[in-house]
Amino acid sequence: MFFHIVLERNMQLHPRHFGRNLRENLVAKLMKDVEGTCSGQHGFVVAITGIENIGKGLIRDGTGFVSFPVKYQCVVFRPFKGEILEAVVTMVNKMGFFAEAGPVQIFVSNHLIPDDMEFQSGDMPNYTTSDGSVKIQKDSEVRLKIIGTRVDATEIFCIGTIKDDFLGVINDPASV
């Protein structure tokens, strides 16, 4: 799910960036520093949408760098346990399948795929129901529920399930 949120960060700026363009330089550095990063509490910082306030700068002893407290608004993306997401399948194997929802990777183990779906190997590995009516393969769109998340420095990884009512394939590329 996406959020709009106000965050704060202390930005250190080299004196060479001071002058008329100080503010622009500060914002440019902020964008470079935080966009695309992720944290457990906030998730992915997708984009900065505005600057709320730039506080008074403070000279760092001994370096000449000045640190400014910057309050900024941004759009973040964070998956939640219990959330329902639509994701695109990126890889299928006998352990389950991987899918992607925005910047987030989701793994659905074969234990969390309905029991009537069997793994079929081949050029295009897939999970298919016994009557062949439903198929999950690469590029299928599935609706899944997040049941676990893990965050590391650069990515968020989730465990999902499609073993529940109203979950599963919503768009099969093969049938289109």
Partner 1 sequence: MSDKGGHGFSLPNGKGVKSSLKSTTPVTKDASIKGKDDSSTKSKKGRNVQFASEGSKFDKSAAASTKANSGSSGGKKEPEPLQLKVENELPKGAKCLMDCEAAYVLQGIQEQMIILSKDPTIKLPVSFDRGLQYTKRSTHYTDPESVRQVLENLKKYGVSDGEICVIANVYPETTDEVFALLLSLKARRIMLDDPVKEVLSELAKLKKST
Query: Which residues contact partner 1 by CB under 8 A?
Result: 1-6, 28, 31-32, 35-36, 38-42, 44-47, 49, 75-77, 80-86, 88, 100-103, 109, 111-112, 141, 143, 145, 147-153, 157, 159, 161, 163-167
Complex with partner 1: residue 39 or 67, whichever CB lies closer: 39
Question: Pick from 86, 100, 94, 63: which is nearest to 143 by CA?
Answer: 86
Return the HEC string of 11-79: EEECHHHCCCCHHHHHHHHHHHHHCCCEECCCEEEEEEEEEEEECCCEECCCCCCEEEEEEEEEEEECC
Complex with partner 1: residue 20 or 132, whichever CB lies closer: 20
Complex with partner 1: residue 1 or 124, whichever CB lies closer: 1
Complex with partner 1: residue 27 or 136, whichever CB lies closer: 27
Provide, rounded to whole angstroms, the least separation between the CB of residue 41 and partner 1.
6
Q: Are 1 and 79 in contact (CB under 8 A)?
A: yes
Q: Going by DSSP bridges, is the β-strand pair 104-109/156-161 parallel, antiparallel, or unpaired?
A: parallel
Provide, rounded to whole angstroms, the least separation between the CB of residue 176 and partner 1.
13
